[in-house]
Each structure stands twice: as C-alpha cells, then as structure tokens.
Structure 1
Amino acid sequence: MRVQGWLFLACGLFFAAVDVAYWFWTKAATGQGEPVGTTAMAISVGFAFMVGYYLMFTARRIGPQPEDNKQAEISEGAGEIGFFSPSSWWPLFVCLAAAFAFAGFVFGFWMFLIGVFLILMAMIGFVFQYYRGNFSH
C-alpha cells in the first residue's frame, strides 16, 4: 500500500504544480485568474493528498504488503481479498429512486418526499440483501 500512497501523493504534487501554472496562465491571458478551473484543480489536489494520506496511514498500521516488496512473488499475494457481490439489482433501484427524488425538485415537493421514501427503502434493501434469500449467511 505504501507504493500506492506515494503514487497518489506524487499526483497531488503534480496537480498542485499544474493548478498554480493554470492560475498564472489565465491571469496573464485575461487579467484575472479563472476561478472555476483553479478551484476544480485545487479540489483534485486535496482529493489526491487525502487518498495518499489514507493509504500511507493504512500501510503504516497493517505493515508491509507483498506489493511493497520488490522481490515478492505473485503467490505471496494469493488468498481471500474480500467479498464481492455476485449480482445485485439494488444499485439500480437506488439510482432510480434518486432520479425520482431529484425530479421532485422540478415537479413538486410531494414527489421529492416520495423519492426520499423510495431511496430509504432501496438503501435498506441494498444493505440487508445478504440477510435473506439465496445468499443469506
């Protein structure tokens, strides 16, 4: 994980350099810096540093991983990685409910409230999908 952390920190430094260059370039071209692009790139700097910090913090907590060792074999990374859903329809229902709720901003508050209720029901189904049926445990 340490390698990935350094990669994200390096990306954050690159984004910061590009952000500063962009600000100076737009300031020279228009007489004032362009705030939207500069802010968007500053947010990408923050996100890259945030992910890099998290990965470095986690790497320090869990110790060295096989991908951190240059002499590691592929077989050292074998084993269970985690649980991945074989198939689930719930993300589709969550998105449809969210679309319904956002359409409520246009058509009326009553539609928004129904959409929020549908989002809550879909989220409950999404979270508890493995507690019943074929995949219960």
Structure 2
Amino acid sequence: MKVSSKLMYALTAYIGAASIIYIFATIFVDDSGNVKGGEWIGITMLVISTLMTLMLAGYFHFTEKRQDILPQDWEEAEVEDGAGTYGFFSTSSIWPAVMSGSIFVLGAGIIYMHYWMIGFGAVLVIWSTTMLNLQYGIPKEKH
C-alpha cells in the first residue's frame, strides 16, 4: 500500500471512531437543554464523512496498486524527484484581471437582481474566458 491510501484509511478509522463516540454521547448523555435522543445532523455528517473517506481510501488503494513506485515511497527520494513539469504560465496577460472584473459585474448583478447587469456580466465572462483561452492562438496583430 502507498502513503495516500494508508493516510485515508487512518482518517477513515479516526472519523469512524469519533462518529461512534458521538452517537453514544448524544443518545446516552442526558443534557437538560436538549431533547432526549440522538442529534441527527451531527450523526449524519459524521457517518457520511466516514463513508466518503472510505470511498477515497479505496480509490487510492486500487489506483496506487496499479502504479509504479512513486517518489514519495522511496526512502532516499529528493524533492526534485517528484517535481514534474509545471506548464506554461503567462506573466503579462491582462485577461485574468478582465475576467475578475467581469465576474464582479456578474456577481453585482446577481446581488442587486438587475437582469440587464446579469446579462452583461454573463457576456463579459464568456468573452473574457474566450480571450484568455485564445490569447496565444490569435496573432499579435489581431489583438
């Protein structure tokens, strides 16, 4: 087993134990300020959290079993062994700022329920997203 699945199985065991303690504590501890019985929101949240971490642990277990040895599993690994290519990040692009402004206009339209502003903001978000994605596909003279 690899590190991620072990970590998620341990987290599943911890949340499962905490949920069992919580269930017994809310059912059997008498507190005069509460109604007698279990507190269903907390019980539901803890049981669902346990099941979700178990699902993620199972996914990590089955996918890591089919992978080769990862750098975090080596005892003599260095940081640069796990570092891959980070990709290309544009340093001088104006489009993230334009997209932030258009999301602000859309949000302000939703908050104040101005339908014309919602439409204008949606058009701005679509336009700025398109221009952000096409900024290196369009020749410089077309900008």
RMSD: 3.8
Give 1:3 shift: 0.6
Deviations 1:90-118 (A, max 9, x none): 55555554444344333225133333333
Q: Work out whether residues 12 and 49 of structure 1, in 8 Å CA contact, stay in contact via their aligned partners in 2.
A: yes
Report the equivalent of 1:21: 21
Paired amino acid for 2:78: I
Contact 1:66 1:76 in 2 (8 A): no
Residue aligning to 1:123: 129
- 1:36 to 1:121, Cα distance in 2 relative to 1, 3 A: farther
Question: Per-residue displacement from partner, 1:24-67 (whole Å, max 9, x unpaired)?
Answer: 33344432433444444445435434443443343233322122
Say how many residue pairs are matched.
133
- Percent sequence identity is 25
Contact 1:98–1:119 (CA under 8 A) maintained in structure 2: yes
Shift in alpha-carbon separation, 1:130–1:73, aligned structure 2, 3 A: same
Gaps of 5+ in 1: none
Q: Against the structure 1 CA distance between its residues 107 and 78, is the aligned structure 2 distance closer, same or farther, given a 3 Å change threshold?
A: closer
Q: Distance in 1 between matches of 2:52 and 2:134?
A: 30
